[in-house]
Homo-oligomer: A and B are copies of this chain.
Amino acid sequence: MKENTKLFKALSDPNRLRILKMLQSKSLCVCEITDVLKLATSTVSKHLSILKDGGFILEQKNGKWVNYLINPRPSDPRISSLISTLDFWISDDQLIISDKQKVQKVDRFKVCSR
């Protein structure tokens, strides 16, 4: 039963939902996400590993950065279903809207190394 709750658990944290919604706009590295959420890097990294473990996102190493993106072709159809549901799920939330605006402007060369 643990496996069955894993997907729902991954989606039941507000910051992880924010991350997923941001990644639906654009793939991002850890420090860009950190800059938007205003959390410790280690915290963001942990959230990302939970989303990755659940199969919602993928990582792509690019030099010293690690880019995260929505998994475009999840093996588990339940994940595809949940991801596409999220498309219209919380689009009206003010926090999600402002996150998306920040994501458009974020620049890893300005944001990182501080």
Give a binary string over A1-20; 1 marks a CB under 8 Å from any B CB, 0 the rest: 11011001101111001100
Measured CA separation A96–B5 after assembly (Å): 13
Stretch at the interface among A39-47, A67-75, A87-95: A87-95
A21 to chain B, nearest CB (A): 10
CB nearest to A13 among chain B residues: B5
The residue from B4, B78, B93 contacting A4, defined by CB atoms under 8 A apart: B93
Measured CA separation A5–B20 after assembly (Å): 13
Interface of A is mostly: helix
A18: chain B residues within 8 A (beta carbon): 1
The residue from B12, B78, B81 contacting A5, defined by CB atoms under 8 A apart: B12
A104 at interface (Cβ–Cβ under 8 A)? no
A113 at interface (Cβ–Cβ under 8 A)? no
